[in-house]
Amino acid sequence: MAVPTERVLVVEDSATGEHYITEPVSDGSTVGLEYMHSVEKSRVYDAYRVENQTLVNTRMEFESYGWGLPARVDVTNVNGTLVYEPAEPITELQTLSVSPGRVAGHSLIVDGERHDLVTATNASDVRIHIERQSLIERIL
């Protein structure tokens, strides 16, 4: 008997594999990572789109240039926020590694639902990826 599966975005502990957050997603779902830049002390937002089992980086928003932010690309200034929307996706990732920081205040936004990554993970390093799960696995 076939067990129906669905795609879910999983936030899991990098060391132990413990699942902290599991959210259903589908092609076109939006996933955002928002945090305070550690040096610039300004907001950074990275947007991803779900395609199959990958996260495609489609947009970056930041309020000032700093380490790790795109300095040599065309950006648009939208009410003081620098926006980078490349013609082609920036990156396609199977796994996104994040170190949620108490100062940075990392949040994960999945289809508009915000999750406090620092609180959910106790500031532990995590892997974010898409996987298939059955309804039974999600319940358990």
What is the predicted pLDDT for the residue at 98?
A: 95
Residues, the chain, total?
140
Give mean pLDDT, residues 44-55.
92
Task: Tell me the per-residue pLDDT of 94-112, one tens digit each, with 9 for 90 and over.
Answer: 999 999 999 999 999 999 9
Q: For the stretch 94-113, what's the b/e string if a residue is b when 16 or more beta carbons lie within 10 angstroms of its beta carbon?
A: eebebebeeebebbbebeee
* Cβ 62 vs Cβ 81: under 8 Å: yes
Q: Dihedral of the CA atoms 100, 120, 82, 73 (nearest 10)?
A: 50
Is residue 2 predicted with pLDDT exceeding 60?
no
Between CA 90 and CA 110 the distance in angstroms is 19
CA 1 to chain centre: 35
For residue range 3-36, what is the model confidence (pLDDT) as tens digits?
Answer: 567 899 999 999 999 999 999 999 999 999 999 9
Distance CA 26, CA 110 (A): 11
The answer to whether the CB of 99 falls within 8 A of the CB of 26 is: no
80 three-state secondary structure:
coil
